[in-house]
Amino acid sequence: MESQTLLTQDFKAVCALSAIPVLGARVVRSSAGEIALFRTADDQVFALLDRCPHKGGPLSQGIVHDRSVTCPLHAWKIDLASGTAQAPDHGCTRRFAVRVHGDTVHLSLTAEQPE
Ligand code: FES
């Protein structure tokens, strides 16, 4: 029970769900760097560091499809849930835990996001 309370306190409201375009992204600044919040067609939200594991491209400017984003620089496909590049490419960008309550998106810089 106590750990649940700590986990809940770790999440901070960062924006409205409606502020993230469907099949798009919104960037929030944090102490961990710029974080891209992605919204899928079925309103799932994922958070990744806004840096492609290839050469640091801005993933927030990529194309969201299903549960992946295609980097705008060299078209690597990054899985939104895990942050990993799709084979044959290799690499991983940092992911963050997100919760959506009503129309509010909450982000944690420390909790692990289940895949
Ligand atoms: S920087 Fe993203 S694919 Fe190259």
Give the span between the Cα atoms of 114 and 82, in whole angstroms: 8
* Region 67-95 average pLDDT: 97
Give the span between the Cα atoms of 57 and 10, in whole angstroms: 28
Q: Is 6 a residue whose pLDDT tops 50?
A: no
Which residues lie closer than 8 Å to 36 by C-beta, 6 or more apart?
A: 25, 26, 27, 47, 48, 49, 50, 58, 59, 60
Ligand 1 atom having least distance to the Cα of 56: 1
Ligand 1 atom having least distance to the Cα of 75: 3
Give the span between the Cα atoms of 41 and 10, in whole angstroms: 27
CA of 67 to the centre of ligand 1 (A): 18
Alpha helices (runs of H) in 11-115, residue ranges in sequence order: none
CA of 34 to the centre of ligand 1 (A): 17
User: Atom 3 (ligand 1): residue with closest C-alpha?
Assistant: 74
Q: What confidence score (pLDDT) does residue 110 get? A: 84
Residue 113 pLDDT grade (very low, low, confident, very high; cuts 50, 70, 90): low
pLDDT in tens, 12-40: 999 999 999 999 999 999 988 999 999 99
To which H or E segment does residue 28 belong?
A: strand 24-30
CA of 46 to the centre of ligand 1 (A): 19
Ligand 1 atom having least distance to the Cα of 89: 3
* Domain boundaries, given as residue ranges, for the chain: 2-108
Instruction: Please give the CATH superfamily to which domain 2-108 belongs.
Output: Rieske [2Fe-2S] iron-sulphur domain (2.102.10.10)
Q: What confidence score (pLDDT) does residue 47 get? A: 97
pLDDT in tens, 36-78: 999 999 999 999 999 999 999 999 999 999 999 999 999 999 9
Q: Which amino acid is at 114?
A: P
Ligand 1 residue neighbourhood (C-beta within 6 Å)? 52, 54-57, 71, 73-74, 76
